[in-house]
Amino acid sequence: MVDVISNNIQIEDDRTGISIETLKRAFLDNLFYIQAKFPKISTKNDYYMALAYTVRDRLLNRWLQTTQTYLEKAPRMVAYLSAEFLMGPHLGNNLINLGLYDVVKQAMEELGLNLTDLLEQEEEPGLGNGGLGRLAACYIDSLATLEIPAISYGIRYEYGIFDQEIKDGWQVEITDKWLRYGNPWEVARPEAELEVKFGGRTEAYTDEHGRYRIRWVPYKVVKGVPYDTPILGFQTNTANTLRLWKAEAPESFDFEAFNKGDYFGAVHEKSECENITKVLYPNDESYQGKQLRLEQQYFFVSCSLQDMIRMMKIQNIALDRFHEHYAIQLNDTHPTIAVAELMRLLLDEHGFDWDKAWNITTRTFAYTNHTLLPEALERWPLGMFGSLLPRHLELIYEINRRFLDDVRIRFPDDFDRIRRMSIIDESGERYVRMANLACVGSYAVNGVAELHSELLKQTVLRDFYEMYPEKFTNVTNGVTPRRFMVLSNPRLANLITSKIGDGWIKNLDELRKLENFIYDPGFRDEFRQVKQAVKQDLANYIRANYNIDIDPNSLFDIQAKRIHEYKRQHLNALYIITLYNRIKANPDLDITARTFLFGGKAAPGYYMAKLIIKLINSIAEVINHDPDMRGRLKVVFMKDYNVKFAQRVYPAADLSEQISTAGKEASGTGNMKFSMNGALTIGTLDGANIEIREAVGADNFFLFGLTAEEVLAKKATGYNPWDYYNSNNELKLVIDRISSGFFSHGDPNLFKPLLDSLLYRDEYLLLADYQSYVECQDRVSKAYRDRDHWIRMSILNIARMGKFSSDRSIRDYLQKIWKVPSVQVDVPEYSQSNSDLKLNV
């Protein structure tokens, strides 16, 4: 807003103005009035906070107008339920989406500050673990960019995914105190708190109309307090809301207990309730850990559904239209208790009969499955579930009874099918199967890559596909180019824009225009310079933070993802030792120089994954200190993999390692982010690798390994890993070198559990794929030597990545599943005089 004063000088409003002078003035005002600091005593964090509030001010008009538009127009909305939202830092992304990055950078420079330093100061919200949470973050970015009415619900974890330190090569978990300096992007809404019940018992009664009803008498009641964060779209007025729930006690302090000297008892209820949202994914090795996870899931689901019902009341929308007003997406099985909770709310709190409530429920929910690993499909011990959620267990029994009657009619006398499909697992200790509940209670079930969706129908969800084929569809994952190209790789983004314009940022298919420049030597040279500069940046960072010198001219071979046996970081490690052995056997060997970079966290209770991290670091210790390797091989494990880490690493990669056992990775999104930044992929035919290979062309993808069908066949015919060990001399030398203690200071037992797993079980067929992988890596080395050809392949990778934008994924959801039209938000110019703050008293 520009105000005109008496002498005709125009002055921008400090809350919304975007000129350099106004931004500088607003920044200094926020430093003074919000941070209560002046420059001489300000820290970098004070400067970051002042800038964050300055940028947030420029979001608020869009955010409030979006909320008002949805309130008044009452459009059909997407409600995205996810236990994780790995958002990444907000400041840089909001600057990109507002179109203010360059002007704010200049304003900070004129104040003697460096925008990059301030961006680094931001604590990353620790609200997710990996691909699941990052996918959710990409999707809500795209929902806003495509102007789709949406609200996203999750948990405001006080302590997020742990910070990772590496000590003596081992992962050490450190508390992630991401909120210790405050969060300028969120707005607490304590006035909108809700109650969530736990435990206790149920009792029958007759209501005033003579109807048989059930009442839940809980043991404990917890308050859910919402914290809202605006999620702005790119070059649009739409700013949707991410609503995260914090658990609090109804009474946080027992004054009577305190007066009696029971100081612990005075705050016991507060501590017990707040534990629910204290930490992301508590270790569930123990009974208490499992119970806390279930409490977390039910807590945020109940809050979210109650919140949706409350909004419908405000909008005067009849509750029997719930399924017309909301399309609720269950991001994996974590929010699946929503099926039973919506039934409870409709039946017990709002008086619906069963058939009507079930009709609404099954037309409301859609379920995204993210795993092919049967052990990863959530299930809860029946005793635990019943003691924590007694009413929901009753409802699930009734849902299951009616459902199994339908199965019997459809498949008469197929008792084994009935056993498999039952929501209650009756074999041994009884469990509630959440994936089964999700399939029964949802109108749509989707996988996240073409192969994954087909394998779901053939394996873990086959029975449900045969029962409800019309429910099943595929939506291949995607990632946002705003964060993973424009923000994280500005040199590349600027180069692309200089050639084809900036339309690609919102329509990634426009990257196809880059194919016109592949044979332009001038463009290839500019591209090479951009890549080299980014690699030099990463080399500088590693030197500063790890005291390791890496050669930016070497091939940067990067595997950055959650550490898990099926993702096979240890197959990569075996190849590194293979190269090491070759050089030791022939010190004059001419090889392509490589820098192997790893990043990823192991779950705190996953010993084998932690042992893989230790192995990688042990290999690095040997290789990085062996003079024979100098100028040839370097290995670096970069600690604390998160979104900040990813933004630094993806742009610098030459080779992307996507080497999971075929048939195990649902989709992957790191593979897409690497390719968007020009990295070539070495990978199996697994997850979205298949679609990436189809898009970029087989000649631009380094393929190796067994197919999913071959994996199943090999296991079915009796796979014996010893056959590969005994018949492959290079492999045998690698295994023997590890087992001898060469990489463990002479201790032959350190890596024995890992080697025993490979030699006696090898569930993920590393030894079967080893030779194919080594030969493929040798092809990579040869290809990298022709740098001009490599650059052409890199450019092609980028040019053909249009399909893998999260904008395309969201359009697929809209067309196939949600049926939610876009809504344009009009934002009038802000001024205090038209801010609609007049009160009718």
Are 470 and 816 a contacting pair, CB within 8 Å?
no
Look up 567 and say whether it is catalytic: yes
What does the DSSP 8-state code read for residue 487? I
Cβ-based burial of 405 (10 A; exposed 0-12, middle 13-18, buried ≥19): exposed
Q: In 3-state terms, what secondary structure has residue 717?
A: coil
Q: Write the CA distances from 703 to 182, 522, 658, integer angstroms.
A: 46, 30, 10
Tokens of 234: 């790119």
Are 91 and 119 a contacting pair, CB within 8 Å?
yes
Look up 105 and say whether it is catalytic: no
Beta bridge mates, 228: 187, 243
Query: 3-class secondary structure for 283-331?
Result: CCCCHHHHHHHHHHHHHHHHHHHHHHHHHHHHCCCCHHHHHHHEEEEEE
Residue positions counted in the chain: 841
Catalytic residue among 531, 567, 568, 601: 567
Angle made by CA atoms 678, 683, 686, in degrees to the nearest 5: 115
Non-local (6+) Cβ contacts of 347 within 8 A are 214, 353, 354, 357, 395
CA distance 189 to 229: 11
What separation, in Å, do the N-terminal and C-terminal C-alpha atoms of the chain show? 29
Report phi then psi at 547, rounded to 5: 55, 40
Look up 73 and say whether it is catalytic: no
Tokens of 5: 């004063």
CA distance 733 to 755: 13
Angle made by CA atoms 765, 770, 771, in degrees to the nearest 5: 135
CA distance 172 to 614: 11
Look up 480 and say whether it is catalytic: no
Strand intervals (E) in 540-600: 555-560, 594-599
Catalytic residue among 673, 693, 800, 808: 673
Catalytic residue among 223, 246, 370, 614: 370
Q: Regarding beta strands 379-381 and 431-433, do their DSSP bridges make them parallel or antiparallel, or are they unpaired? A: antiparallel
Catalytic residue among 480, 669, 681, 684: 669
Are 826 and 555 a contacting pair, CB within 8 Å?
no
Look up 370 and say whether it is catalytic: yes
Report phi then psi at 174, rounded to 5: -120, 140
Nearest to 372 by CA among 660, 132, 665: 665
Q: Write the CA distances from 565 to 143, 452, 608, 626, integer angstroms.
A: 34, 19, 8, 28
CA distance 141 to 480: 7
Look up 419 and say whether it is catalytic: no
CA distance 330 to 340: 13
Rounded to the nearest 10 degrees, what angle do helices 521-546 and 787-799 cross at?
A: 90
Q: Write the CA distances from 713 to 452, 565, 716, 718, integer angstroms.
A: 18, 20, 5, 9
Catalytic residue among 325, 524, 562, 564: 562
Q: How many beta carbons lie within 10 A of that of residue 704, not counting itself?
A: 20
Q: How many beta carbons lie within 10 A of that of residue 742, not counting itself?
A: 16
CA distance 635 to 596: 5
Nearest to 186 by CA among 159, 226, 138: 226
CA distance 62 to 47: 24
Are 783 and 555 a contacting pair, CB within 8 Å?
no
Q: How many beta carbons lie within 10 A of that of residue 309, not counting itself?
A: 19
CA distance 624 to 179: 37
Q: In 3-state terms, what secondary structure has residue 222?
A: strand
- Given phi > 0 = left and psi -120 to 50 = alpha, else beta, which region is 446? beta
Catalytic residue among 535, 561, 634, 693: 561
Are 699 and 680 a contacting pair, CB within 8 Å?
no
Catalytic amino acids? 370, 561-562, 567, 669, 673
